[in-house]
Amino acid sequence: MKKVYLDNAATTQVRENVIAKMQDALANFYGNPSSTHSFGRSAKTAVESARKTIAKYMNAHPSEIIFTSGGTEADNMILRCAVRDLKVETIITSKIEHHAVLHTVEDLASEKGIKVLYVDLDVFGNPDLLHLESLLKQDDSKKLVSLMHVNNEIGNKIDIAAVCELCHSHGALFHSDTVQSIGHYLWDVKAVPVDFLTAAAHKFHGPKGIGFAYIKKNSGLKPMIAGGAQERGYRAGTESFHNIVGLEMAFVEAYDNLEAETAYVTELKSYFIDRMKEEIPDVKFNGHSGDLEKSTFTLVNACLPIDSQKALMLLFHLDMKGIACSKGSACQSGSDLGSHVLAEILSEDDFRKPSLRFSFSKYNTKEELDYTVQVLKEFVEK
């Protein structure tokens, strides 16, 4: 059976060089990085080299890069510690953030009594910056704004520089979940001086179970996990050395090949949109995902002209044809509630129709996209 993987926003295929680097680490660098003997020192040197590499590409200081198990842990750590250590009283976010942010702020509201405010969205899912400014002016409480750079379901890109400037002009901290953009877009934390960012290696052809938080120097955050003094004291626990060097290799390869791979994947997305419009004329693209300028080049979210009963078999049908995609975030698989993102921006009629997220990578081809469109067309028309 033909196999077509179009769920790269959920996770990506690991690069061959990354696998080789990790295998070497597992075989030859098995010392504990906290040990003082030569085995430990060799591992520690590689961990710190990875930290310096990432910091260099982001124009950050190495001490500002903290390795975590991934984006969810990093988001939780930043938000929870900001409330505990920086006395944040109000968090401003949007209702289409990843659940790693939404569920955390909901818990903080119930556990710590913080105020949670949601910025208005336009019909495409973009935050209203005038409304954000009004929320920042609402009172004198210590505020943190958390808005993702690239939405993981509809691909919208926010003007992160404008949001950062607006937050800082009103004395607020700014955190951005950048899991869908780190490894796909250049970052300079001096040019756009965010306070906190998060990343996950498996979104840019690295291993699962490893990511990092960017925490601006002298932020005042204290450890969330108690124990040893690993990760500059921010995160206790023996470092996942093989994953860290895998993250470093994936990060370097992503940025060293950024221009060529961005052009290739952008062409795939453009081709897929055109083919969908040709073969399924009533298709709609949710949010700004059909706009190459206003959304990420890595995904589209398509609303198909099918009734809700027929839609029940769509994902199963695609899977039987060897096509992998998703109806929302992979974290929501098994949920019958539907996408919380689409629920905020779609009409009632369109929300009842099936919407699928197709996400692309350097490993995809136009032939795969032709096959996918043909399978969708046949399902829609039968």
- What are the catalytic residues? 331
Q: Is 95 left (phi over 0), alpha (psi -120 to 50) or beta?
A: alpha
299 bridge partner residues: 359
Q: Are strands 115-118 and 355-359 parallel, antiparallel or unpaired?
A: unpaired
φ/ψ region of 138 (left if φ > 0, alpha if ψ in -120 to 50, else beta) reads alpha
Look up residue 165 and give its two tokens.
């400037």
Separation of alpha carbons 280 and 278, rounded Å:
6
| Residue closest to 43 by CA, chosen among 59, 27, 32, 56 | 32
Question: Are the C-beta atoms of 146 and 175 separated by less than 8 Å?
Answer: yes
User: CA–CA distance from 183 to each of 78, 200, 257 (Å)?
Assistant: 20, 9, 10
Cα separation of 197 and 148, whole Å? 9
Where does residue 289 rank: exposed (0-12), middle (13-18), buried (19+ CB within 10 A)? buried
DSSP H stretches of helix in the chain: 16-28, 38-58, 71-85, 99-112, 129-136, 160-169, 241-256, 258-279, 308-311, 314-320, 340-345, 348-352, 366-381
For the record, the structure tokens of 184 come out as: 């796909």
Rg for the chain (alpha carbons), in Å?
A: 21
Helices (H), 291-365: 308-311, 314-320, 340-345, 348-352
